[in-house]
Every structure is written in C-alpha cells, then in structure tokens.
Amino acid sequence: MWDYRRDNLDGLKPKSRKDKGCSRVISEELGKKIIEFRQENPAFSVMLLYEKMVKEGLILRFEVSYYSVYRYLKQRNLARPLVEDTVSIKDRKPFAYDEVNRMWQGDYPDLFVIPTFRFVM
C-alpha cells in the first residue's frame, strides 16, 4: 500500500534490480584475477579451475562459491575450456580398448547365493 500511496499505479509495477548483471561476491579486482588464472590454465574445466584457486588461496570457499565463478566466466564466454583439442570424447572413455576381448567385465552378487541340495543314495 505504501508504494501505491507514494507512486500511484507506477509504484506497484515490478522494478529491476540496480545490481542486475553484476556479481555482489566477485569484486572487480577478484574478477581480473579469475580471468588471468583462466588464461594461464586454458584446458581446465571451471570446477578444476575453482578447486585450484581455492588450494592456492586466491579465493575462499565460504566466500565465493563455485556457481559464482561459473556464472562470472559464463558471462564473459570463458566457461568452456579454451583449448579445442585437449582430449576428445573418444579418448576419455574409461573402458574403451582398441582390440576386441581385451577386457572383460562381470558382476557377481554374492549377497544372494542359492543353496544346492544333493541327494546321495
């Protein structure tokens, strides 16, 4: 009601935030450090980049979250690894071999064992 009394119908319309598009957690100085760190390590994913920055003490985990760094880099089109041919998807498959029958995999549920009965006569 206060908004209506003060500004009439215009006071009831939703207003946009003044800090829209700006990060409240990442300052301009920290943003420059993040971009520098990204350019030094172009093949890193954002998660690996964030973890390395936390280990080196550039950012504190409880002050700046992973998602804040991800959004900051995504706004600047730096979220994806900058090196195109780092590792292709074919090279990243954990159980892929170039020859047939090179590796076998099985599953044995030892929890359920069916007892066998033998009748001896």
One-letter amino acid of 118: R
Q: How many CB atoms lie within 10 A of CB 26?
A: 19
The model's pTM is: 0.57
Condensed to tens digits (0 to 9), the pLDDT of residues 4-43 reads: 778 777 777 787 777 676 777 888 899 999 999 999 988 8
Structure tokens at 4: 């209506």
**DSSP state for residue 86 in the 8-state scheme:** S
